[in-house]
Amino acid sequence: MRCKLLFSLLVVSLVGFSSFAGASSLSKVFKRVSPAVVVILTKERGYSSLKPGEAVTVTKGGLGSGIVISEDGLVMTSAHVVQVADSVVVRFLDGTTAQAKIIGAAVRADVALLKLDHLPEKLVAAELGDSDEVNIGDEILIIGAPYGMGHTLTVGYMSGRRRPETVCKSLVPIEFLQTDAAINKGNSGGPMFNKNGEVVGIVSHILSQSGGSEGLGFAISINTAKELLLNQNSIWTGLEAYLVSGALARALNVPQEAGLLIQRVANDSPGERLGLKPGKVPVKVAGEQILIGGDIVLEVQGIPISDDFRETCRIGDKTVGQNRRGITDMKVLRGGEIVHLSVTSETSP
């Protein structure tokens, strides 16, 4: 009887030690990688409606997270955090800040690449891992700035792999890693680490009925992010657009089945240099707030905009592989007239 009791006490002690050792290991990983995690602060233009048909320009602040991936100042974050930002500031663990430029984005995969304007002293870069090596059930760590509270650690498990279907053969297949780790507003763009402290994903979004974390979070796999941002010529456009078709297209006098209604254009972006004009009048259509009054893109590179995904693929097929000095041509509807826009630039959209 005494032997059984001693054996039971030994098992309990070992289990307790194992849990403590695991917590200690997570603490060490957090301390090692946290300096590479940053807070992303953005400013962008928006419009506020005072009266029906009237609007006033306002400046809005945005918040996200990011991860330094190289000692020469490259930072990964989410595309939706910076896509239409007029300015981007990166804040480090010690409170110092640096301006950054957006040099690449893959909106479909919700990932973007920034370059710091100047390098702070003792810049720490994270190590990028192999997301193919992460298995369902593996423990993962997420560090970010939920609701602005920087360098917050949440821990969970890899819950699944999600690969959205695509009909475009030339597009790189994207993969999202699903997790039950807590993800909230401000975590977007932050890193997902494996237990070795290697980045295996960039936090993208959650599925939630309450608006807060409900255990369904998604991060773009780091292998997808590396392929799109580091191995290819990803180009940031600085544009946000809304596809109009059917009755709405007819109401806006679009002379074809569909068009892209320009919502916002970031300062000093390829979209702005191309001359695209954003909407300025906020209206609600089918419960969704959009901006009207801006350009409606009808054609890109001679291919009409359509709500048929196959036509969208044709545009992608024609532009994929173009170097950054390629010519961008667009036909837009502006104030009831057809206008042709063209630009030759190292950063053509």
Reduced to 3 states, what is the DSSP secondary structure of residue 244? strand
Residue of 65, 78, 131, 188 with catalytic role: 188
Measured torsion, CA atoms of residues 231, 232, 238, 239, in degrees rounded to the nearest 10? -130
Question: Containing H/E element for 274?
Answer: helix 270-274
Q: Is 86 a catalytic residue?
A: no
* Structure letter (DSSP) for residue 336: T
Measured torsion, CA atoms of residues 60, 64, 68, 69, in degrees rounded to the nearest 10? -110
Reduced to 3 states, what is the DSSP secondary structure of residue 90? strand
Residue of 65, 78, 80, 159 with catalytic role: 80
Contact 311, 294 (CB under 8 A): no
* Structure letter (DSSP) for residue 136: T
Q: Is 25 a catalytic residue?
A: no
- Residue appearing with tokens 């592989």: 321
Question: Containing H/E element for 227?
Answer: helix 222-229
Phi, psi of 113 (to 5 degrees): -120, 130
Contact 84, 76 (CB under 8 A): no
Residue of 65, 78, 86, 110 with catalytic role: 110
Q: Is 342 a catalytic residue?
A: no
Question: Containing H/E element for 41?
Answer: strand 37-48
Provide DSSP, 93-111.
TTS-EEEEEEEEEEGGGTE
Active site positions, annotated: 80, 110, 188
